[in-house]
Structure 1
Amino acid sequence: MNTSFFGAPPISLDQLGPVEQSAPNLILWAVPFMILFTAIEMIAAYVEEKPFYERKETVGSVLVGLGALAVGAATKLALLYAIVWIYNALPWRMELAWWTLLPCYVIFDFFSYWAHRISHEQRFWWATHVVHHSGEHYNLSVSFRLSWVQHLKIIFFLPVALIGFHPVIFFTTNQIAVLFQFWVHTEYIGKLPRWVEYVFATPSNHRVHHGSQPKYIDKNYGATFIFWDRLFGTYQPEEERPIYGITTNIEQKGNPFHINFHEFADMARDVKKARGLRQKLFYVFGSPIKIAETKQAGEARPEPAEMPSVA
């Protein structure tokens, strides 16, 4: 066993420039191609008169995507610093070897499954993810709808960094994982061969994830590999056509600030009205489904009848 492979020298925190340059900015390079394919799909849908796009919603998706690119550029150095600091603290640092990209990707996708699942099961994290589900149409532009505060979820991927993968491998893996999810946001690709549907998060599998029907809610969390869902009991095949969006759709479909922060605003209002610490914590970290049911039950509860006055 080559022990020197796991004893790579630390990276100087004062010289992060070479590391940043070594991590290819794949997402930025891919943007022109993503725009091109989205435009082709949009034109095809218009010519074929298919209701895959809606103007305000598409504008909202583009503006959210531009904001996500800006936030990503602004936070890249800070995230790189944090990952390099962790890397330097480990005694089992891996050398920069491109073949480590494959095990890193599989492990990263495993934690991506759980980060995604928790983002549906706890309201605070749902607020960082609902942006992506707020579109009522399913098309390539939906892949642009990435929360401006999604980088908070880096904490779910710390175990990947703690394994000792080189920071360049870590960031390249993250970008490939994000880019993989672009092509699955379309209705133009039907079901693929059975083995592909069994292994990968295909357009069919991911359409289910965006469905708002009860049978589709909180299913198919896999980002690249769908076998995590099969393993952990959250898999659902595509049957009837999904109804896209969230259970209570937003009104300001073209406002990127509303798209990004409406759930945080609702959460703050609920916490303000809540009585006691336990209920406040419930409205922050409880299940979004249970919170919605609790609020609906409260709204449906009749007001107590006014007592008749005694003359």
Structure 2
Amino acid sequence: MHFPLFGAAPIPFDDLHTIEKNIPNIILWAVPVMLFFTVIEMVVTYYQEKEFYEKKETIGSILVGLGNLVVTAGLKVGLLYLCIWVYNLIPWRMELQWWTLIPCYVIYDFFSYWAHRVSHEQRFWWATHVVHHSGEHYNLTVSYRLSWIQHLKIIFFLPVAFMGFHPIIFFVTNQIAVLFQFWVHTEYIRRLPAWVEYIFATPSNHRVHHGTQDQYIDKNFGATFIFWDRIFGTFEPEIEPVTYGITTNIPNKANPIFINFHELTDMARDVKQAKGLRKKLFYIFGSPIKIAEEKKQQEIREAVDSEVAV
């Protein structure tokens, strides 16, 4: 029996390139618009003598963004193959109906919240996300700072694919979700009407997420909808001015290789030096905050031992 929505025919893998061509390149089309508004923000910042941009950091953001576009383009066919494989595996496949984009987007954003939250709570996933937080200035170029290995997090979104959404719907949803986050990375849009702030991850809500103050750390994970944070107890309003960056800011601000892989390098060194399997696993999957606290305490102990030895 063929239902109006469910029960769509499997997609032959021979049609993979046809499906790929039918997926609109929304992000690619949006790049000129993003650059246009970024340049406007830069010019306004310059004439207002605001300290929203820093030369080396801006160069780093742009280079990271360009690299991410290359990586994404290179992985597109492989990710599409995976989505088609999942789509063909299940019997409740949905027809290609554009209105299914709405439920797909809401469900996708729910899993995005948890993927984002786990990326802050476990160091392995933090290494795929720290790139985005390493900027010490908040501006539109921060939205370009997307890790070159962030696609590992596709594992968090497989439940969405297993719900039977058409692969084209899944890919369009992903692109819109990424583009939504462009406009929230600015100081120029202050608080919006209360109902907007209650529902959406606005610039005000997202500035909090990038804060290094104690009350702001690990808050406001929502990508499009902030009500996930309200539901799961991670919401924090913007009250005091936000201090941006990470708890230990990086030195090589213009080097995209360093920006992308410094945390992985540190993690590998910590694992190598750690004694025992439990400690090694802690340095891979432990909380980045607890790992930083432990390393700080270890430095203090080593300093005290050094003074005693002298």
Normalising by structure 2, we get a TM-score of 0.97
In 1, distance between residues paired with 2:18 and 2:96? 13
Alignment of 1:43 onto 2:47: no
Quote the residue 1:246 is aligned against: 246
Shift of residue 22, structure 1, vs aligned partner: 1.3
Residues 2 and 8 in structure 2, CA contact (< 8 A), matched pair in contact too: no
Quote the residue 1:204 is aligned against: 204
In 2, distance between residues paired with 1:239 and 1:115? 26
Quote the residue 1:117 is aligned against: 117
Residues 100 and 169 in structure 2, CA contact (< 8 A), matched pair in contact too: yes
Give the secondary structure class of the aligned counterpart of 2:295: helix
Shift of residue 306, structure 1, vs aligned partner: 4.6
Residues 16 and 81 in structure 2, CA contact (< 8 A), matched pair in contact too: yes
Shift of residue 4, structure 1, vs aligned partner: 4.4
Quote the residue 1:148 is aligned against: 148
Quote the residue 1:167 is aligned against: 167
**Percent sequence identity over aligned pairs:** 71
In 2, distance between residues paired with 1:169 and 1:110? 16
Please tell me the residue identity of whatever aligns with 2:305.
Answer: E
Alignment of 1:139 onto 2:139: yes
Shift of residue 3, structure 1, vs aligned partner: 2.5
Unaligned runs of 5+ in 2: none
Please tell me the residue identity of whatever aligns with 1:303.
Answer: D
Please tell me the residue identity of whatever aligns with 1:50.
Answer: K
Q: What pairs up with 1:4-43 in 2 under 5 angstroms?
A: 4-43=4-43
Question: Per-residue CA shift, 1:227-284, capped at 9, x if unaligned?
Answer: 0000000000000110000000000000000000000000000000000000000000
Please tell me the residue identity of whatever aligns with 1:269.
Answer: R
Quote the residue 1:259 is aligned against: 259
Shift of residue 303, structure 1, vs aligned partner: 1.2
Please tell me the residue identity of whatever aligns with 1:200.
Answer: F
In 2, distance between residues paired with 1:105 and 1:288? 30
Quote the residue 1:303 is aligned against: 305
Give the secondary structure class of the aligned counterpart of 2:112: helix
Give the secondary structure class of the aligned counterpart of 2:213: coil
Quote the residue 2:180 is aligned against: 180
Alignment of 1:280 onto 2:280: yes
Quote the residue 1:66 is aligned against: 66
In 1, distance between residues paired with 2:166 and 2:159? 13
Quote the residue 2:77 is aligned against: 77
Question: Per-residue CA shift, 1:197-241, capped at 9, x if unaligned?
Answer: 000000000000000000000000000000000000000000011
Please tell me the residue identity of whatever aligns with 1:11.
Answer: I
Please tell me the residue identity of whatever aligns with 1:91.
Answer: P
Q: Which moved more, 1:295-304 or 1:267-276?
A: 295-304
Give the secondary structure class of the aligned counterpart of 1:15: helix
Please tell me the residue identity of whatever aligns with 1:169.
Answer: I
In 2, distance between residues paired with 1:2 and 1:132? 45
Residues 201 and 223 in structure 2, CA contact (< 8 A), matched pair in contact too: yes
* Alignment root-mean-square deviation, CA: 1.2
- Total equivalences in the alignment: 307
Give the secondary structure class of the aligned counterpart of 2:251: coil
Shift of residue 17, structure 1, vs aligned partner: 1.3
Question: Per-residue CA shift, 1:45-76, capped at 9, x if unaligned?
Answer: 00000000000000000000000000000000
In 1, distance between residues paired with 2:84 and 2:66? 27
In 2, distance between residues paired with 1:262 and 1:227? 33
In 1, distance between residues paired with 2:309 and 2:199? 61
Residues 58 and 254 in structure 2, CA contact (< 8 A), matched pair in contact too: yes
In 2, distance between residues paired with 1:306 and 1:169? 65
In 2, distance between residues paired with 1:150 and 1:12? 28
Normalising by structure 1, we get a TM-score of 0.97
Unaligned runs of 5+ in 1: none
Quote the residue 1:157 is aligned against: 157
In 2, distance between residues paired with 1:54 and 1:257? 19
Give the secondary structure class of the aligned counterpart of 2:15: coil
In 2, distance between residues paired with 1:269 and 1:147? 20
Residues 87 and 93 in structure 2, CA contact (< 8 A), matched pair in contact too: yes
